[in-house]
Chain A
Amino acid sequence: MSRRPFIRKMRRSWWLRRRRTLFYMMRELTSLFIGLYSALLALGLVQLARGSQAWDSFIALITSRGGVIFQLLCFAFALFHSVTWFAVTPKAVPLSAPAKAVIGAHYAVWAVISVVVLLLAGRFVDGSIQ
């Protein structure tokens, strides 16, 4: 009897076909928006360095309707990134700590950092506080 093993080709749409792989691709896509927002931050620093007029145009950009919509999109994907990143961190640490504790610790640090940044932004940069 002759052998003729049949090789199945992988479709380009492989990731669309199952919920698990679609979730994976969406998870990876979050990094695009992280990248785009980091570019926006870099642009902000560049405009800040160029002077108050350049800075005003940057503020106009990020408070414009398009700017806000873009940032809200980034916000949604950034949140998805945070949640999915924290969820898998227990895999990266050996069995030393229970998974829930590792994830909980990340959320706690996230909350603390967020509050600290908000307070700092409000205190040192807010124009209304002298």
Chain B
Amino acid sequence: MVRSNKPILWLPFAAGGLVSALIIPVLIAITGVLLPLGLIHLPYAKLVATVHNPIVKVVFFGVIALSAWHAAHRMRTAAHDLGLGGGIFVKTICYGSAILVIFAATIALLLL
């Protein structure tokens, strides 16, 4: 039986869709509205201390990884819809970007 391995791409995409829908807006509100307005502060020392917590690391990793994957998978199908092809080039750019972002976040979280 030729079993498609699409679920491995689709499950994180679906999870990422839900996670990003629930959490990204408030994060942007913090970094893109409250912070520039000076209504919230993100001092280095306090933030490092917060990210030290393994639960916080897992949460940050989850949000970033799932959101990046969601974007990669959806942009790849959008490229196909727009006639830009769904070949190896498009796949590499989309999933490759997500992997880079996830890799960078992982290294940073491991070092923090």
Q: Which residues of A contact B (CB under 8 A)?
A: 12, 15, 25, 28-29, 31-32, 34-46, 48-49, 52, 55-56, 59, 62-63, 67-68, 71-72, 74-75, 78-79, 81-82, 85-86, 106, 109-110, 113-114, 117-118, 121-122, 124-128
Contact of B22 among A15, A46, A113 (CB under 8 A): A113
Asked whether any CB of chain A lies closer than 8 Å to the CB of B43, the reply is yes
* Cβ–Cβ contact B25 & A35, under 8 A: no
* Cβ–Cβ contact B21 & A86, under 8 A: yes
Asked whether any CB of chain A lies closer than 8 Å to the CB of B54, the reply is no
Query: What A residues does B109 contact at CB under 8 A?
Result: 45, 49
With A106-B21, A109-B22, A126-B40 given, can you name 13 additional A-B contacts, CB distance below 8 Å?
A: A46-B108, A48-B48, A49-B108, A49-B112, A56-B44, A74-B24, A81-B17, A82-B22, A82-B24, A106-B22, A113-B26, A114-B29, A127-B46
A114 to B26, CA, bound (A): 5
A127 to B18, CA, bound (A): 31
Q: How far is the CB of B6 from chain A (nearest CB, A)?
A: 16
| A75-B28 contact given A45-B112, A126-B40, CB 8 Å threshold | yes
- The residue of chain B having its C-beta at the shortest distance from the C-beta of A44 within the complex is B31
Q: Which residues of B contact A (CB under 8 A)?
A: 17-18, 20-33, 35-36, 40-48, 50-51, 60, 63-64, 67-68, 70-72, 74-75, 77-78, 81-83, 97-98, 101-102, 104-105, 107-109, 111-112
A124 to B44, CA, bound (A): 12
**When A and B form their complex, what is the total count of cross-chain residue pairs whose Cβ atoms lie within 8 Å?**
175
Query: What A residues does B42 contact at CB under 8 A?
Result: 59, 125, 127
| A118-B30 contact given A34-B24, A39-B68, A110-B22, CB 8 Å threshold | yes
Q: How far is the CB of A42 from chain B (nearest CB, A)?
A: 4
Main SS of chain A's interface residues?
helix
Query: What A residues does B63 contact at CB under 8 A?
Result: 38, 41
Query: What A residues does B40 contact at CB under 8 A?
Result: 121-122, 125-126
